[in-house]
Every structure is written in C-alpha cells, then in structure tokens.
Structure 1
Amino acid sequence: MTRNTILPGMALILLLAGIALYLAGLPAFSHLGLSALTLAIVGGMLLGNTLYPHIAERSHHGVAFGKQQLLRLGIILYGCRLTLQDIAKVGTSGLIIDLLVLSSTFALSIWLGTRLFGLDKKSAILIGAGSSICGAAAVLATEPVVRGSAEKVAVAVATVVVFGTASMFLYPLLYPLALHWFGGDAHAFGVYTGSTVHEVAQVVAAARAASPDAESTAVIVKMIRVMLLAPFLIGLSAWMARTEPRHGHARSITVPWFAVLFVLMTALHSLPFFPRQFDHVLLFIDNLLLAMAMGALGLTTHVSALRRAGVKPLLLAGLLFVYLIVGGALINLAVSHLAML
C-alpha cells in the first residue's frame, strides 16, 4: 500500500474527526455529553450511507488504515490520561470495585447475550466490553481481538451511546438516594459513578451534580477501569484461543501489543520527569486519532446491517445498564463495608 493510496481516505476521516472535535467543544453538544467519538461515528455513518459509496474505491485503503493502525495508536496514547499516583488516591477498594463491576458485567453480557437473546458471541463480547469498561473506546479496542464486523462494532457503540447518555440524566436524579445509600459521602458517590457509567465524558457530566470532590474521584475511578482494558484484552485473547479452535487446531493466543504499550505509556506518564506540559497536546492527538478511527468505522457501517441486528442488542445493553445501576451500587456498598471492618 503506497502513500498515495491511503491519502484520500485519510483526508476524509481527518475531516470527519476535525468536525466532530469542533462540535464536541460547543456547549450544545458538550452539555449533552456527546463526545467527539460519538459525533465522528454518527457523521461517518451519515456520509457512509449517502456519498461515500461513490468515492469508496479511491478512499477505502486510507479508511481501513484509520480503523486499524490509527485506532491502536490512539489506544496507546490513552495511557496519558492516567498515572499510578491517581490509582493510589482511590486506594485498593476502588480498584477492587472496578474489577468486580467489570468482570460481573462482562460475564453477564456473555450469558444473557448468548443464552437469553440468542446473539452471537462476538456481539455479546463487544456490547459487554463497551458497558463494562470504557464505552466506545473499549468496543474499538476489543474488535481486533474478536475480529468482529464493522456492523457489530457499530451496534455495540450505539448501545453505549444510548445508555451512557441516559446515565448522565439519571445519576443526578439518583444523587439524593445514592447519598442515603453511602451515608452522605459524596466521595463514595464519585466512586460509584466512576465504576458504573460508560464513558469518561458521561462520568464527568453525571458526577458534576454532586461536588468537585465527587467529580474528580469519579474520573480517577473511571480511568482505572480504562487501565483494566489491557489485562482484559489479554485475558479475552487467551479465553477465545481456548474456546474457539480454528480448523481443528487450537487457536493461538494473540497478545494485543497495543494493550501492552498502553500500560507502558501509563507507567511512563507516572514518572516524575515526564514533561506534563505536553499532556494537553498528547490528549488532543489521542482524541483526534480515536475520532478518525470512529469516523472510519462509521463510513463502513451500513444502515441495512444495523436494521438486521434488530432490537436484541439494545435489550441486552438495557439489562446491563440496569445491572450497573443496581448491581454496581451493591458492589460498592459491600466493598466499602468490608474495607471498614
């Protein structure tokens, strides 16, 4: 693949990402918690089902490059959002809560998706990853491991958008009740929000109703969930190698190299000599890369395929959403109680 063959597609997804980043910064969209990733995939789908088929022959190499290589680079740079010092601030209990919420939500997604709704395993995995870890970014990061189609990825992202957006309006309404659950502790509400809401932007919007302390705690707890993405992907690869043999032979374990580099980037970002003055530049580049990957995904997603997926993925994500609210609260209460013993 030469540079000339990828340039048209790269220019197209760069334009989509730039528009998405601009719109995400406008109050009308930011107050709704619509991130650049969400706007990029929506814009990509609108273009992909109208004008893009006419230019797909010239652009598809660059679009494919965006979905694959730029996505992995974006996941690596995601490590610049967290430090090991941040993890220490919320303590062992915050990490345990995140682990329990993640593992139980994902396991529930596999069981409900394949047993109750009859979905294929890849769809259940993608929806479970988005609900249990970090929304659209987790769905994108999981796709190379499960090798899901663009349509399955788009459906999973759509469920995250629907219920993640709902959480931003529901959690502030739950705040008085949640304070009662947690003994009036706004910090505990922040841990609860960070461990159960889908995306980072949605966590910020949902926790802002409480206090600055709750908001900052929620973001840290959420970013710990993001960091768990790396071991999750490695474990998922090992599980799929054991459960999905190929052509009569065991499937080899594929360690997602970008997940390992994501952890290394987090460790590097934690070092005292890391030039923090570049954080905002790195985060902008990261948002741009992920938005380009989402735009590329949208361009290759056909509305007809989403229609064929039906209502079952949405019902699965809805049940996971209810579990995150209720089951997540019970996990938070149980761990907090045990920590005080």
Structure 2
Amino acid sequence: MSVIAIAAANHRARELAPGFIVSLIAAAAASFLSEHYDAPVMLFALLLGMALNFLASDGRCKAGIEFTARTVLRLGVALLGMRITLGQIASLGWKPVALVVILVVVTILVSVVAARALGFQRLFGMLTGGATAICGASAALALAAALPHHPQKERATLFTVIGVSALSTLAMILYPMIASWLQLSPPQAGVFLGATIHDVAQVVGAGYSMSTETGDIATVVKLMRVAMLLPVIVCAAMITRRAGGDAGGQRPPLLPWFAVGFVLLACINSTGWVSAAVQGGVNDLSRWCLVVAISALGMKTQLKELAAVGFKPIALMVGETVFLVLLVLALMHWGL
C-alpha cells in the first residue's frame, strides 16, 4: 500500500507542478515590481496572472493553477495567525477592541444592505464589506475561500482585490493628511489609520510616516482587525453549510481547517515562545502563499470579464470606504 501511495503522490506532484511553478514565477515577478515601484504586490500579482490567463486552459497547467488558487490560498490565510498576539490586543485596553468590533460588524452589515439595494447578491456585499472592514485583499481571499460556490465568485473576488488594493494605496497617501488636518494626537492618529486603511502594509507605511508612536498604535489596531477575520470566516462557513456546500453537495465543516490553523498560530504566537526569526519566516511564507494564490486566481479570469463589471461595484466599494472613515471618526468622537 505504501508503494501505491508514494506512486500516487508522485503522480499528483507531477500533475500540479507546472501550474504551481508558473504561479510562483508570476508571484516572484510581482514582488520584484512591487519593491522597485512601491505599489501593492497583490495588484501586480493579479495583473501578471491575468496576462497569463491562457495557461488556465492548458491541460498541463490547469490542475496546478486550480490547486494554487484554492489550497495554497487557504494555507496563506492560516499562516496569518502568526501576525497577532492576545497581548497586543490587551495592551490597548477595551476601547479600541470595542471600536474594531463595532466597525467590522456595522460595515459588513451596511455593505450587505447596500449590495442588495444595488442589485447584487448579499454574498458580494459580505465579500467587499469584509475586505474593507478587516484586512483588504487578504480578507477578500479568505472570505472567498469560505463562501459557497457561485459561478461569479472568482470574478467578484478578483474585482474586490483590485478595488481594495487601489483604495488602500490612495488611503495611505490621503489619510495621514486627514489626520493632520483634524489635528489628531499621535495615539488618535494611530487608531484612525489602523482602523480605516485596508491592507497591513499600507497601514504601516502611513502610520510610521507620521511618527513612531502613531505607527506602533496603527499596526496593533490593524492586527486587531485581522483577528476579526476568524469570526467572520465562521459566519461565512455557516452560510455555506446552510447553502449546502459546493457543487459536490457535501456540507463543509463549521470551522474550516485554515480557520483552525489561524487560531492555533495566534495562540502559539501569544505564548511568547516564538522567536522573532520564526515569526518573520512564517509571515513571509504567508505573504508568499497569498501572492502566489492571487497570481493563480488572475490566470483563471479574463480581462473582458472585469471590464464588464460596470459602475455599480465601483460605487459600492468607494461608498464602503467612505462609510468606514466616517464611522471610525464618529466612534472616536463618542469616546471609543
């Protein structure tokens, strides 16, 4: 039996290798461009992947691209747990925690209602709202992995990744100006930036561009938003179970394996036993998994599909971003 299992594993590896290697090369190119042109790596990975979309129909690459877009993506989401600790959250007190919980819940609920009002499915509102409220492209990919199968899900996911990446880059430039204009103190500015900018990298860039104190607080508040990914994934999994799962008809587990991995790594990281080198290595691996996965997702789509989305999805995401800013400012004004 072991010989048969080894032979099957070798066959599977040979089947997946071409598509995975192509996705890895696209991700490496995206990282190079991101480092040299100071733009979101997810956006470069997505665009390079779409330029190679003809490979998704190639029999040699198709299986590997499918595997990368699904399994490697979920591995990357699980590894995000190494970014946070319970101590980081506790160090800020209860007010920022309450602020983060309220903004995530309210933003997603409003997004779902707005999506229905614009004629979209509620799940699209949950996808865009979760990406806006939690952690940008990473949240979009994680939620897409947990939501039920739908013919338009991949297209919606790719559009969401493009939208939050563009809006997050714009926010990194504009939001420090808004914080200065509002004369926010360094701690207040840190909470504002950490609670409103979509992606972690842009939060770090915006926060430390103002001051070290602002950057430190912004990063912790942002990681608190990342921690909200778990309950939102559980909600998405519950929706999937009620919908009956994917096309295969099997009901998925209430807590997906990548959510379990996320929790376990966050708990391990909270013990203080993990060295900085290991933390950095796991975070880098998580980033690479997500970039490789978004490259594969890009290969599975067509440019003409994204060009046909129209004005309404753009208006939805811009509206969600503006709503999040106003909500955070209101909560801070009320003492949270």
TM-score (norm 2): 0.89
Q: Which amino acid aligns with 2:159?
A: V
Residue 93 of structure 1 deviates from its aligned partner by 1.0
Residue 25 of structure 1 deviates from its aligned partner by 2.3
SS in 1 for 2:72: helix
Partner of residue 178, structure 1: 182
Q: Is the 8 A contact 1:169 1:206 kept in 2?
A: yes
Matched ranges for 1:32-43 at <5 A = 34-43=39-48
Percent sequence identity is: 27
Following TM superposition, the consecutive aligned residue runs of length 4 or more in structure 1 with deviations greater than 4 angstroms are: 239-242, 244-247
CA–CA separation in structure 2 for the residues paired with 1:277 and 1:327: 37
Q: Is the 8 A contact 2:42 2:165 kept in 1?
A: no
Match of 1:9 among 9, 12, 19: 19
Matched ranges for 1:178-327 at <5 A = 178-179=182-183, 184-239=184-239, 241-242=241-242, 244=243, 254-327=254-327
Residue 7 of structure 1 deviates from its aligned partner by 0.5
Residue 126 of structure 1 deviates from its aligned partner by 1.3
Residue 278 of structure 1 deviates from its aligned partner by 1.8
Q: Which amino acid aligns with 1:306?
A: L
SS in 1 for 2:334: helix
Residue 106 of structure 1 deviates from its aligned partner by 0.6
Partner of residue 339, structure 1: none
Partner of residue 169, structure 1: 173
Q: Which amino acid aligns with 1:45?
A: M
CA–CA separation in structure 2 for the residues paired with 1:162 and 1:138: 15
CA–CA separation in structure 2 for the residues paired with 1:162 and 1:289: 21
Q: Is the 8 A contact 1:159 1:313 kept in 2?
A: no
**What's the CA shift string for 1:13-68, capped at 9, x where partnerless?**
11011112222222x32xxxx332222112111222xx536x62210111111111
Match of 2:78 among 63, 76, 79: 76
Residue 152 of structure 1 deviates from its aligned partner by 1.2
Matched ranges for 1:35-184 at <5 A = 35-48=40-53, 51-52=54-55, 56-115=58-117, 117-146=118-147, 147-148=149-150, 149-179=153-183, 184=184
Residue 69 of structure 1 deviates from its aligned partner by 1.0
CA–CA separation in structure 2 for the residues paired with 1:125 and 1:16: 29
Q: Which amino acid aligns with 1:198?
A: H
**What's the CA shift string for 1:267-309, capped at 9, x where partnerless?**
1011132233222222221111111101001111111221232
Q: Is the 8 A contact 1:105 1:324 kept in 2?
A: yes
Q: Is the 8 A contact 2:55 2:62 kept in 1?
A: no
**What's the CA shift string for 1:147-203, capped at 9, x where partnerless?**
352211111112112221221121122022332xxxx42111101111111001111
Which runs of 5 or more residues in structure 2 are unaligned? Answer: 1-10
Partner of residue 20, structure 1: 30
Residue 121 of structure 1 deviates from its aligned partner by 2.3
Residue 240 of structure 1 deviates from its aligned partner by 5.2
**Over the residues paired in the alignment, what is the CA RMSD in angstroms?**
2.2
Q: Is the 8 A contact 2:195 2:221 kept in 1?
A: yes
Distance 1:240 1:71, change over 3 A: closer
Residue 131 of structure 1 deviates from its aligned partner by 0.7
Q: Which amino acid aligns with 1:285?
A: L
CA–CA separation in structure 1 for the residues paired with 2:256 and 2:167: 28
CA–CA separation in structure 1 for the residues paired with 2:254 and 2:303: 31
CA–CA separation in structure 2 for the residues paired with 1:275 and 1:285: 15
Residue 144 of structure 1 deviates from its aligned partner by 2.1
Which runs of 5 or more residues in structure 1 are unaligned? Answer: 337-341
Q: Is the 8 A contact 2:82 2:279 kept in 1?
A: yes
Q: Is the 8 A contact 2:40 2:169 kept in 1?
A: no
Q: Is the 8 A contact 1:193 1:218 kept in 2?
A: yes
TM-score (norm 1): 0.88
Residue 80 of structure 1 deviates from its aligned partner by 1.4
